Amino acid sequence: DTVENLKPGSVIVDLAASTGGNCAYTENNKTIVKNGVTIMGNSDLADELPGVASTLYSNNVINFLQVLIKDGAVVLNEENDIIKSVLISKAN
């Protein structure tokens, strides 16, 4: 069995848990440990992720804008690694 061949500490996220799962040990809406392998059978995982992804993205945008804008004006500090990596054009 594949689970027995995995190293302890491995994680399986079974996205098909609500329809029986792709892993023999999957239990719908449960997280279990078998032979040191964690098997997650969260059938609502896809419903939980958009909120987390939106929060992470919005935090990244806010943090970027805080680097880019000082006292209400755009400041292109070319010494800043973040600005250097996203700067495509300068002075027209």
Residues 15 and 8: their CA atoms lie apart, in Å, by 21
Closest listed residue to residue 64, CA positions, set 51, 52, 77: 77
Residues 58 and 40: their CA atoms lie apart, in Å, by 28
Total-model pTM:
0.54
For 30-77, what is each residue's pLDDT tens digit? 999 999 999 999 888 777 778 888 999 999 999 999 999 999 999 999
pLDDT score, position 13: 94
Domain positions in the chain are 2-40, 50-86
pLDDT score, position 92: 62
Coil vs helix vs strand at 15: coil
Residues 5 and 60: their CA atoms lie apart, in Å, by 39
For 1-13, what is each residue's pLDDT tens digit? 789 999 999 999 9
Give CA separation, 91 vs 28, 64, 74, 76, 77, in Å: 57, 21, 13, 11, 14
pLDDT score, position 60: 96
